[in-house]
A and B are shown apart, each in its own frame.
Chain A
Amino acid sequence: MFQQWHLQYKLKRLINNTKSNKPTHLKTHYQYLLTQLHQPIVNLNLLALDIEMTGLNHKKDEMVSIGVIPIINGQIKPKYAQYKLLKIQGSVGQSATIHGVHDRDLTEALATSEIIEWLLQQCQDKVLVAHHALLDIQFLEQALLKLGGPIQQLFAIDTLQLEKQRLNRKNQYIKNGELRLNACRERYHLPIYSAHNALTDALACAELLLAQLNKMGGLDNIKLQDILRKY
């Protein structure tokens, strides 16, 4: 109950503070979240997201690529999946070995400002979903900050947190690596994909969420306010 009030309060404050819908669509996004808080997930539009970065430090490292795939009324829609590369200041360096994005691929990349614009447009009527959302959100908030303007706060459903809560409830001791995306998927007998392409990971995260929600009581019973978190 408290969480619900807290989310409502935060969202209302953000909507009031976010004047003239700047950056574009952010206010619309907040309004969507506020009106949908009490809705079951099956009635919502979600956007599963994954970002590949040059490192894990949002103050220092940069975003390299973003993959998104929407979940509309509980159905994943590959048709609207998108994948974008970002222009970066430095080099992808050693991180290329993880996400497979090399400097030479970045010629068609977009500037961070364009990406933020594009992403906010994508999610103006959608709820963000990510695995270990904290990391992705930190990078996005950092980008918003760089674009000028007040500190913006973002909200997301985090499949890692959902899994952690579930394991904690079962009083299971969580070992190192057990909350990784593929480790979580294995627990639901979902197929294992080769990781670290932003789009593949976004799909993997979307499927994991559906599996988790079904275990938690079903998409028509779980409401947005039960699982949305502020960052």
Chain B
Amino acid sequence: MDNSELQPIFDFMRKLAPFDMLHEQTIKQCCKALTIVYYSKSQKLVHVDTNEAQLYIVRSGAFEVSTQQGELIDRIGEGQFFGFSGMLSGEKVVNQVHILEDGLVYHLPAKIFDQLRADCYQFDRFFNRAFAKRLRDQGSLNRSAINTARITNIMSKQLTTISPKASIHEAALLMANHRLSSLVVEENGQLCGILTDRDLRNRVLAKGLDGNTLVTTAMTKDPATIETDSLIFEAMLKMSENNIHHLPVMSENQPIAMITSTDLIRSQSSQPLLLIGQIQRQPDLESLIQVSQKIPDLLYNLISSDAKASEIGRILTSVTDALTRRLISLKQQDIGPEPMRFCWLSFGSQGRQDQMAGSDQDNALILEKETNEQEAKYFKQLSEYVCSALNECGFPFCPGNIMAQNPEWQLSLQQWLQQFSQWIKTPDPTALLHASIFFDMRPICGDIRLFEQLQKSVLSRTCNNDIFIAAMSQNALQSTPPLGFFRSFVLERDGSEVKGIDLKHKGNALINDIVRVYALSAGIEEVNTNKRIQSLIKQSAIDKELAMNLLDAWEFIAHKRLINQGHQFDHAQTVSNYILPDSLSSLVRHQLKDAFKVIYEAQSTIKLKFLRQF
């Protein structure tokens, strides 16, 4: 052991993202380079020395970053950072940092910070994302600006080079072996030029030269280049301005990578609209499976661009909807048009438009009338194909078998109406379980009038139906949110301690349940929790303050859930809804606790309102 090593600092830093991605030796060097400063509330502001930039790492305490005009940009707690914007943009920071709670802050000199960014691409990416988020919060970058990512995120890690004195034959062989369309021509670490497919065609083959021609005669000399810290957007601009497809990426005057127009196109392809467009164009299941592998990337990009959780849910669901429709139409090309009117329904998270990673499928069919053997066979073929295709595309089969391929859920409109009225008349536990899934229904494909008839009839039966609503309320109160945190545990209301929180079942699902009770009682057609709340407010069917708090709580918990999933994705862990309190800063713990409190209050309110209980 190095005797002068400070164990507590090292222990803290090695668990701190993005430092946790660095080599142990590098972390130790960071620890030595830090200075530790104590900030007290009585000082009010952190004096940020603009001439000596540094990264501020909060070890304890709480801080608030705002613009000079006093507009809030960020709140920062334990394990978070400030002071990096200036180092990334090279501009002087004019933000103010207020001290909310006394605490220790580690200062990391700019020189070390820059070195780490240059050496570790994930480290750099971490801060560039945080920076992009800040900018957006300041309003200087709007949400549609998707091209703020740096080229470091997309360029390939390996650089294949060739000497100018090599032969064209060697170069072509190298390109063929590495499946490359271009090479960087380099001598003693200095860039001499680039050699592309087009150069081989235009300067060698077209001129009748042979394979012994030297690279130096065929290459493009003095190519346009781009610096490693450029934005993807800037690379696009440079390529289109110069009408070229290859750009060597330079760092300290040395080529470190090659970026191609294909890289740029690929980097944009996980955008939702493009993805949906691709889905609509795919000719067969195999290629659809291929395309749907980009859905996790889309989710990840959306998370890192810090979109609202409710928006992410809607975007992801629209991708699933498009996929479902494309699958139905693919199968219909095969087995012909439907023998009678039908409507493909989705339930659960797809119904509510709040799908996230790993959502399973919940779907069913409404048919115009009861089927004969022939017709039944048609819908069996169609639904079995679509359900298993969805499964292969990453939407696992529903464990409760609530799927269109299950004959139990291929019902005629008449049968659906009977089914619903039975659930509503005798709300036993199974009926209520079904109700919580089936009442969040949305038409995906087919004849929408079938759905409308069903929904209208169902709502007319639930609206002001005291007995049914009371049973639904009872059901929504089965589970309560945790009370908060105690040390590294989650504290349940009964005083027991558990290790992690299931943000879905102890958070968002509880809010969905509460809002569903309100919506069914008021006869509201919307199924998306967010939209249900909006409609409830419009109809004055809910206390406005409670409603707004529920909206905030839903968004906050869903956002945390997504961030957590993004983190899991980043660290190649299984994506789940579980979050460990240890991974939360004290500020987030407080906020989560508040969100749980809102849920608990809302549960108390429905108890009073629909169950007449105190």
Contact = CB atoms under 8 A, between A and B. Distances in A.
Nearest to B2: A83
B212 interface: no
Given A200-B6, A203-B9, A75 B37 contact: yes
A78 B40 CA distance: 21
B6 A199 contact: yes
Contact of A78 (B32, B43, B59, B60): B32
A214 B31 contact: no
Interface string A166-188: 00000000000000000000001
Interface string A189-218: 111011001011001101100110011001
Range, interface on chain B:
20 to 34
A140 interface: no
B14 to A, nearest CB: 15
Contacts of B104: 190-191, 207, 210
Interface string B135-168: 0000000000000000000000000000000000
A207 B38 contact: yes
Contacts of B43: 214, 218
A63 B31 CA distance: 27
Contacts of B34: 78-79
Interface string A18-40: 00000000000000000000000
Contact of A211 (B12, B33, B38): B38
Interface secondary structure of B, over-half rule: mixed
B42 to A, nearest CB: 7
A193 B36 contact: no
Given A83-B3, A189-B102, A200-B7, A74 B37 contact: yes
Contacts of A74: 37-38
B4 A82 contact: yes
Contacts of A206: 36
A76 B60 contact: no
A179 to B, nearest CB: 20
Interface string A52-86: 00000000000000000100001111110111110
Contact of A203 (B6, B60, B61): B6
B419 interface: no
Contacts of B38: 74, 207, 210-211, 214
Contacts, number: 82
A189 B7 contact: no
Q: Which of B12, B32, B35 has the most CB of A within 10 A?
A: B35
Interface residues of A, number: 30
A114 to B, nearest CB: 15
Contacts of B399: none
B4 A81 contact: yes
Nearest to B104: A207
B3 A78 contact: no
Contact of B102 (A69, A193, A199, A214): A214
B215 to A, nearest CB: 49
B40 A218 contact: yes
Interface string B28-69: 000111111110101100000000000000011100000000
Interface in A80-135: 81-85
Contacts of A190: 60, 104
A211 B34 CA distance: 18
B35 A78 contact: yes
B446 interface: no
Interface string B189-201: 0000000000000
B296 interface: no
B42 A214 contact: yes
B103 interface: yes
B59 A191 contact: yes
A50 to B, nearest CB: 12
B102 A78 contact: no
Given A76-B35, A78-B31, A211 B102 contact: yes
Nearest to B41: A214
A217 to B, nearest CB: 8
A191 B586 CA distance: 12
A214 B105 CA distance: 14
Contacts of A79: 32-35
B8 interface: yes
A223 B6 CA distance: 29
B9 A215 contact: no
A78 B8 contact: no
Nearest to A215: B40
Contacts of B3: 82-85, 199
A78 B43 CA distance: 24
15 contacts: A69-B6, A75-B36, A78-B9, A78-B32, A81-B4, A82-B4, A85-B3, A189-B101, A190-B104, A193-B7, A199-B3, A199-B5, A200-B7, A203-B36, A206-B36
Interface of A: 69, 74-79, 81-85, 188-191, 193-194, 197, 199-200, 203-204, 206-207, 210-211, 214-215, 218
Given A76-B37, A203-B8, 7 more contacts: A77-B36, A79-B32, A79-B35, A82-B4, A194-B7, A207-B36, A214-B42
- What 5 A-B pairs have minimum CB-CB distances, sorted nearest first? A210-B38, A214-B40, A76-B36, A83-B3, A193-B8
